[in-house]
Amino acid sequence: MSSDDALIEIVDVTKAFGAGERRFLALGGVNATIRKGEFFTLLGPSGCGKTTLLRLIAGFELPSSGEIRLDGQEIGHLPPFRRPVNTVFQNYALFPHMTVAQNIAFGLEMLGKPKAEIAATVERMLTLVKMTELAGRRTDQLSGGQQQRVALARALAPQPKLLLLDEPLSALDLKLRKEMQVELKRIQHETGITFIFVTHDQEEALTMSDRIAVMSRGQILQIGTPREIYAHPTNRFVADFIGETNFLRAAVKGGRAVLGPGVELPLAAGTADGEVTLAIRPEHIRLVPEGAAGALSATVGDATYFGTDSHVHLTLADGTGIVARQQTDPEGTQGPQAGAVLGVTFPPSAVQVLED
Ligand code: ATP
């Protein structure tokens, strides 16, 4: 049974390529539920299986096992044209000899829609992507950003329930890329269509998504809102892949993590004695005078000044290297100097206990 707001359910999906010794498991048992109207991002390094998962949802590949459901119905074995799903490819795949309007109309003509309806939809799509003035221009005479808009309009014209976008902004330069990020969000919001967006760029994922699935080696490691993923990564890969993180090993005794003499943090109830890895973001580390209550002693290595903040590299007594990000004060006071010995503290709420 699917919950009411679920559009896509991916259930225990695996995908292997090749056979025998050449067999390669590109997806090893993936589970995810994508909700209606959501901007959902698949984020992970090259080769982790993002495109493979997208191609399974589109129907360009069949799963080796598992189910893909749309509105509660199994679609994993339907051909692409039988699915209410469209894809925007990285290279746009426009028809170069056709005009912008003809490109947008193409899919609707294939579906045999009446002429008047096609004309009205093309108008609407042109307005949506702000391309009305270029409706009669051939698509090989457009800039990259304009081609991107046409590709979006063409994919949205048949009103799919789901739009898949495979690294659609990667061919654009940085400025245009930022502009199209804002545009994509606006268009998704205005149409209400569910987007599944693939990127390996963590900042792009954080700024654009309602929820993110972080992938590594054919697995989804964590699904959550950008804030959940950044503030509460559950494992080392996610903590490391998204933003900068310090990792600390600590002994666990009686439900508390012991970081050093007199420096203890409470852990979730039921944490067994042993050792844990803790993650803490550089911006949450506080520098205090050496010997302050609850502080670990640390030696300053070097500090890099960035204007809005400084990154201070420190070494703890046990040799662990950490980095602390310190906001610049309004007076522009000189920050910590190399060789200085300081205390560092970690607010307990900012410390994440990672799964090993
Ligand atoms: P990128 O960001 O580089 O596009 P990705 O996360 O999208 O990477 P996939 O393209 O899904 O990764 O590939 C996942 C793994 O599956 C890779 O190791 C890739 O080489 C392998 N793979 C993908 N398609 C095939 C195929 N048709 N035959 C064999 N192996 C494949």
| Of 137 and 348, the one with more pLDDT | 137
Q: Burial of 123 by CB count in 10 Å (0-12 exposed, 13-18 middle, 19+ buried)? A: middle
How far from the centroid of its chain's Cα atoms is residue 25's Cα? 22
**Does any domain span residue 286?**
yes
**Does any domain span residue 1?**
no
Asked if 85 and 223 sit in the same domain, the reply is yes
Asked if 267 and 179 sit in the same domain, the reply is no
Asked if 293 and 225 sit in the same domain, the reply is no
Asked if 278 and 203 sit in the same domain, the reply is no
Give the domain-ending residue among 237, 265, 287. 237
Q: How far is the CA of 47 from the centre of ligand 1 (A)?
A: 5
Asked if 185 and 228 sit in the same domain, the reply is yes
Number of folded domains in the chain? 2
Q: What angle do CA 247, 253, 256 make, to 5 degrees?
A: 60
Q: How far is the CA of 53 from the centre of ligand 1 (A)?
A: 10
| Of 94 and 220, the one with more pLDDT | 220
Q: How far is the CA of 249 from the centre of ligand 1 (A)?
A: 34
Asked if 157 and 32 sit in the same domain, the reply is yes
Total length of the chain:
356
Give the domain-ending residue among 237, 265, 300. 237
| The pLDDT value given to residue 194 | 97
- Segment 101-115 shows an average pLDDT of 92
Buried b (16+ CB within 10 A) or exposed e, 156-194: bbeebebbbbbbbbeebeeebbeebbebbeebbeebebb
Asked if 329 and 221 sit in the same domain, the reply is no
**Does any domain span residue 40?**
yes
**Does any domain span residue 285?**
yes
**Does any domain span residue 339?**
yes
In the predicted model, is pLDDT for residue 356 greater than 70?
Answer: no
Asked if 53 and 191 sit in the same domain, the reply is yes
Which ligand 1 atom is the nearest neighbour of the CA of 48? 6
Asked if 194 and 66 sit in the same domain, the reply is yes
Here the CATH number for the domain that contains residue 38 is: 3.40.50.300
Which ligand 1 atom is the nearest neighbour of the CA of 44? 6
As a whole number of angstroms, the distance between CA 316 and CA 297 comes to 6
Q: CA nearest 245: which of 344, 351, 319, 348? A: 351
pLDDT confidence bin for 145, thresholds 50/70/90: confident
- Segment 276-292 shows an average pLDDT of 92
- Segment 80-95 shows an average pLDDT of 88
Q: Which of 52, 54, 56, 90 is the best mutation target for the ligand 1 pocket, counting ligand atoms within 8 Å of the beta carbon and taking the most?
A: 52
Q: What are the angstrom distances between the C-alpha of 337 and each of 287, 311, 314, 318, 342?
A: 12, 12, 11, 21, 10
Lowest-confidence segment of 96-100, 155-159, 183-187, 267-271 by average pLDDT: 267-271
Domain that holds residue 61: 6-237
Asked if 51 and 159 sit in the same domain, the reply is yes
**Does any domain span residue 262?**
yes
SS3 content of the chain, % helix, strand, coil (to 5): 30, 35, 35
In the predicted model, is pLDDT for residue 301 greater than 90?
Answer: yes
Give the domain-ending residue among 189, 218, 237. 237
In the predicted model, is pLDDT for residue 1 greater than 60?
Answer: no
pLDDT confidence bin for 169, thresholds 50/70/90: confident
Q: How far is the CA of 92 from the centre of ligand 1 (A)?
A: 19
Q: Decide whether any atom of ligand 1 lies within 6 Å of the 200 Cβ.
A: yes
Asked if 118 and 226 sit in the same domain, the reply is yes
Q: Whose CA is nearest to atom 31 of ligand 1?
A: 17
**Does any domain span residue 261?**
yes
Q: Which amino acid is at 318?
A: D
Asked if 16 and 165 sit in the same domain, the reply is yes
Which ligand 1 atom is the nearest neighbour of the CA of 24? 30
Q: CA nearest 80: which of 12, 162, 16, 154? A: 162
- Segment 227-238 shows an average pLDDT of 93
Q: What does the DSSP assignment read for 254-300?
A: TTEEEEETTEEEE--TTPPSEEEEEEE-GGG-EEE-TT-TT-EEEEE
Q: How far is the CA of 217 from the centre of ligand 1 (A)?
A: 10
Here the CATH number for the domain that contains residue 305 is: 2.40.50.140
Q: How far is the CA of 49 from the centre of ligand 1 (A)?
A: 6
> pLDDT, tens digit, for every residue of 134-144?
999 999 899 88
Q: What are the angstrom distances between the C-alpha of 287 and each of 11, 283, 312?
A: 46, 11, 10
**Does any domain span residue 109?**
yes
Q: How far is the CA of 59 from the centre of ligand 1 (A)?
A: 16
Q: Decide whether any atom of ligand 1 lies within 6 Å of the 199 Cβ.
A: no
Which residue in the block uniquely carries the two structure tokens 């994509």? 184
Q: Decide whether any atom of ligand 1 lies within 6 Å of the 162 Cβ.
A: no
Which ligand 1 atom is the nearest neighbour of the CA of 61? 27
Query: What is the value of pTM for the model shown?
Result: 0.89
In the predicted model, is pLDDT for residue 2 greater than 60?
Answer: no
